[in-house]
């Protein structure tokens, strides 16, 4: 046998297990849940025997799922978090409908999730210069991200300059919601942890910071 043909056969034999592993990868579905005015990303990963459910910031927790009949039972939270602790032992129903998954049992109404990689589960990169109350300047640096991923950074000037990381929590045709994470340098940014930055999908427009408590903070483009 020609040595080049032999080498090709050997390479193909080495690739086949990897290709088979890719085909067997579990499905990953993304969506958003809401706690009052503050959203959080939902990531559902399914395997033949169960899977994993992740809730994004401000909850930032995950728990295993066990397949039982036509549904799934949530196990103990892997990394704590009150939201996941409340879900432990809960029965979840998953219905796959083409390009959608309907997840029931997580909230009062079923959540609709889409496959990871779908355009409606991600946001693009942009940088905004904003003016906040009290003559505070803010630079909002956003990067391309999927739901539940780090989506950028809030850089705040003024008397107590600081930075805090953002995570994409929800997106639709008109708005994006980015949640402040616990990844802060301190100072004036500590008060933002757990709140949400709401910004229009259009290039210009006011940006609003909203939380479970307290008044909205509106920032204007510079």
Q: What is the pLDDT of residues 99-149, one digit of tens each?
A: 888 999 888 788 999 999 887 888 889 999 998 887 889 999 999 999 999
With bands split at pLDDT 50, 70 and 90, how would you rate the model's confidence at 21? very low
CA separation for the pair 18, 101 (Å, rounded): 27
Q: Is the pLDDT of residue 13 over 80?
A: no
**Collapsed DSSP state (helix, strand, coil) of residue 202:** coil
Helices (H), the chain: 3-23, 82-87
pTM of the model: 0.83
State how far the Cα of 188 lies from the Cα of 167, in Å rounded to an integer: 19
Domain boundaries, the chain: 7-116, 120-221
Q: Are 178 and 164 in contact (CB under 8 A)?
A: no
Q: Enter the DSSP assignment of 204.
A: S
**Cβ atoms of 67 and 204 closer than 8 Å:** no
pLDDT of residue 93: 92
Start-to-end C-alpha separation, the chain: 71
pLDDT at 16: 29
* 18-22, 87-91, 205-209: segment of lowest average pLDDT: 18-22
Mean pLDDT of 164-178: 94
Residue with tokens 């500590």: 190
Distance, CA of 152 to CA of 165 (rounded, Å)? 6
Q: d(Cα 75, Cα 46) in Å, to the nearest integer?
A: 14
Rounded Cα gap, residues 198 and 175, in angstroms: 7
Residue 163 pLDDT exceeds 70: yes
pLDDT at 17: 32
Q: Is the separation of the CB atoms in 155 and 139 below 8 Å?
A: yes
Section 34-58 average pLDDT:
92
For the ranges 17-21, 47-51, 55-59, 66-70, which has the lowest average pLDDT? 17-21
Distance CA 112, CA 102 (A): 5
CATH class for the region spanning 7-116: mainly beta
């Amino acid at each position: 046998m020609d040595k080049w043909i032999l080498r090709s056969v050997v390479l193909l034999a080495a690739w086949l297990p990897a290709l088979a592993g890719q085909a067997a990868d579990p499905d990953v579905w993304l969506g958003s849940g809401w706690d009052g005015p503050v959203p959080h990303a939902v990531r559902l990963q399914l395997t033949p025997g169960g899977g994993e459910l992740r809730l994004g910031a401000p909850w930032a927790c995950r728990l295993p799922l066990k397949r039982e009949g036509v549904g799934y039972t949530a196990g103990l939270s892997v990394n704590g978090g009150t939201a996941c602790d409340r879900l432990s032992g809960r029965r979840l129903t998953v219905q796959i409908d083409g390009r959608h998954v309907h997840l029931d049992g997580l909230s009062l109404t079923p959540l609709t999730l889409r496959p990871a990689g779908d355009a409606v589960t991600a946001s693009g990169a942009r940088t905004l210069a904003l003016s906040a109350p009290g003559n505070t300047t803010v630079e909002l640096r956003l990067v391309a991200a999927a739901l539940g991923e780090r989506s950028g950074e809030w850089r705040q000037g003024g008397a107590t300059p600081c930075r805090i990381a953002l995570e994409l929590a929800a997106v639709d045709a008109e708005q994006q919601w980015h949640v402040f994470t616990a990844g802060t340098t301190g100072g004036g940014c500590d008060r933002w942890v757990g709140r949400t930055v709401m910004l229009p999908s259009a290039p210009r427009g006011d940006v609003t910071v909203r939380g479970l408590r307290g008044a909205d903070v509106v920032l204007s483009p510079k």
